[in-house]
Every structure is written in structure tokens, then in C-alpha cells.
Amino acid sequence: MASIALIAVIYAALVILVELLEVNSSIHGLLSRHESWPVSQVLLLLLFLVVSLGILASRWKIQKRRESAARAAAEERAEQLQSVIESTTDFIATLSADGDIIHHNQAGGRLGDILANSSRPMANVADIFTEESIIEILDLGMPLAAREGAWHGETVIAGDGRSRIPVSQLILAHRDESGKVEYYSTICRDISEQKQHEEQLRSLSLVDELTGLHNRRGFLQIAEQQLWLARREHRRMLILFADLDDLKWINDNLGHAAGDMALVRAAEVIRQTFRESDLIARIGGDEFVALAPESHRSDAMSITARLKQKLDEVNSKRENDFSLSLSLGFSYFDPDNPMPLEDLLNHADKRMYLDKKAGRRSSA
């Protein structure tokens, strides 16, 4: 707008000059006769110039005030944004290409507590993340952000001692005018509660609610992993299939509460018989299964003896209106002649059925 006003002033001045010059046919003639310009026209020209300069000065001041107001508003917005960044519970930082921390906020919540109480200097990502997370950030996250603009993943922030917080991390690459990555920014959000909920849901989906043992899904999932390791590392395993005898009679005559108690007591007996590292599950109404890695075929006899001893101890207390007894069947995983898990379970189930039919119960 200022340039348009200036052009208008120049144009007006030229018009006046042309009118003055038209008094004579040429500038030379005008000068040769020593004729003067009319005073009124000169004053008019000066007035035009003064008014135009006044308008330009006024417009310049208005523009400067607008620019100043815009700068003040921008600074206020920047301060507000900085206040948000500083007060958030997220950890926000700018990073160099080597992972050096250029600037970071004072994160709140548990993240802030761990970082504030850390004895490490927070000069590099290596100062605040676990070793596995450092590798993931430097070797995967930042290269992908440089190539694609952003990377998102889950890492773990570590404080002093054993303090660990899982975080959802976003890394952004920021480029200069030439397109070269100038620096990175990262935002880390505490997802501890989310992970706890996920673990609870996972546990609920893999654990039998009544006995606390693994359920069928949990057993099959973990047993397949154990079987894969046994094949790869040439390990032997023993599988027990156990059936709680007379559960239907207990439910029909003593009630389902007594039946539930019988299942809980049977689960406890089996748990006490096997090692802590063994896999134990309730896979059906009255069916239990146990997988014992690094066990030989001959271990079945000692396991049977321990089970009978534990059952004798429970029944001798006479705390219930029923006696616990289990029918047992074993199958053996031989790495030299491997079998699928389903076949191992079917083989143990058949042996258990024969044991039940023969009346050879493990009971008092």
C-alpha cells in the first residue's frame, strides 16, 4: 500500500511539472527569457509533497504498529506453547544426529520424578534409556525418521537402580532449507498403566480363574514354545495327564462348591508335586496337565510317588467330605523321535484312561 501511495505522489508531481512547463514551448525558451514559475503552482507542488509524505509516514507508523502487535502476539503464543511443553507429563527433547540432547523440558508425573532424581547428566539418550532402547533409537528410530520423516515405537526410560518406565516414543526429523536433517525432536509418553492393563488382560486370557493355573490356551501357547526349544536343543520332556476322579459324584451329592474345592485342592497337590519351572494347567473340567522339561521316562515313577504322598497328606487331614484321587497318564518326548504336542497329549490321555479303567488311582 505504501508503494502505491508513493507512485500516486510521484505521478501528481509530474502532472504539475508538465503543466508548469507548458507555459512555454520548451525549457530552453523558458530559461532564455528568464521567466519564473508561478508561486501558487510551486506552493501547490510543495503542499502535494508534504501531504503525500505525511500520508506515507502515517501508513509506515500503522504498519510498524501492526508488525509490533503481530510480533507480540507471536511471542505470547510461543510463551504459551513453551508453558504447555514445560508443564506436560510427557518428556520432550531435541536431539542431534548422534543422540545428544540439545534441549529438554521438565517432564511431570512419574517420568519427571525418575528423570529429576537420576544421577546421570541427561546429555545423551544413553543417559536416560535402557540399553535395548538405545540401540532401537539410534539404529532404527532415528534412521527411519531421517528417511520417512517420523518414527513411532515403544521404548523404556531407566532411572537409577531398577526404576523402569515403558514409554510410547515419537521421533521427528527436522530439515534445513537444503533438505538436510538439522536436528531431531522426540516425545515420550508414560504407558505404564496401559502395559499393566495389557498384562492383566493377557493373564486373564491364559489363566484358569478357579485354580490359578494356566488354562488350555495358556498351556498350548507355552508348551509349543517349550517343544520347539526341546527339538532345537535336543532336550527330553515328560507330560502328565491327570483326571480328578469322581468330580461328578462330588458335584451331585455335595454341591458345586465342594466340587470347586476338590479342583482347587487337586491343583495345589499337582503344583506342589512339580518343580516351579514346570508348566502346569487345568485344560478341562476335571482334567489337568503338566509338562516337565529335562525329564526322563523313568521320572514318571518318582512323580507318581510324590503325587500319591501329597494326596495321602491332604486326605489324612479329613477336612472335606470327599477324598481326592487322580488317574494318571504319561507321555514322553524323545528328541531322537519327536512327536507333535497334540500327539503327546493324546498319548498321555489314553494312558490316563487305561489307568482309570484299571482302577489304579493315586489316592489314599
Instruction: Give all strands (DSSP E) within 249-359, no chain letters.
Output: 279-282, 287-293, 325-333
Task: State in words which class domain 207-363 has.
Answer: alpha beta
Stretch (H or E) spanning 155: strand 150-158
pLDDT > 80? residue 225: yes
Give every CB contact of residue 167 below 8 A, 6+ residues apart in sequence: 91, 111, 154, 155, 156, 157, 188, 189, 190, 191
Domain extents for the chain?
A: 2-82, 91-195, 207-363
Mean pLDDT of 237-249: 93
Between CA 165 and CA 168, with CA 166 as vertex, the angle to 5 degrees is: 130
Asked if 59 contacts 1 with a C-beta cutoff of 8 angstroms, the reply is: yes
Instruction: Name which residue leads in pLDDT, 54 or 293.
Output: 293
Average pLDDT taken over every residue of the chain: 83
Residue among 349, 351, 362 at smallest CA distance from 314 = 362
Q: Give this prediction's pTM.
A: 0.49
**pLDDT (tens digit per residue) in 331-356:** 999 988 888 999 999 999 999 998 88
- Please tell me the CATH code under which domain 91-195 is placed: 3.30.450.20
Instruction: Give all strands (DSSP E) within 198-278, no chain letters.
Output: 237-244
Residue among 171, 160, 86 at smallest CA distance from 121 = 160
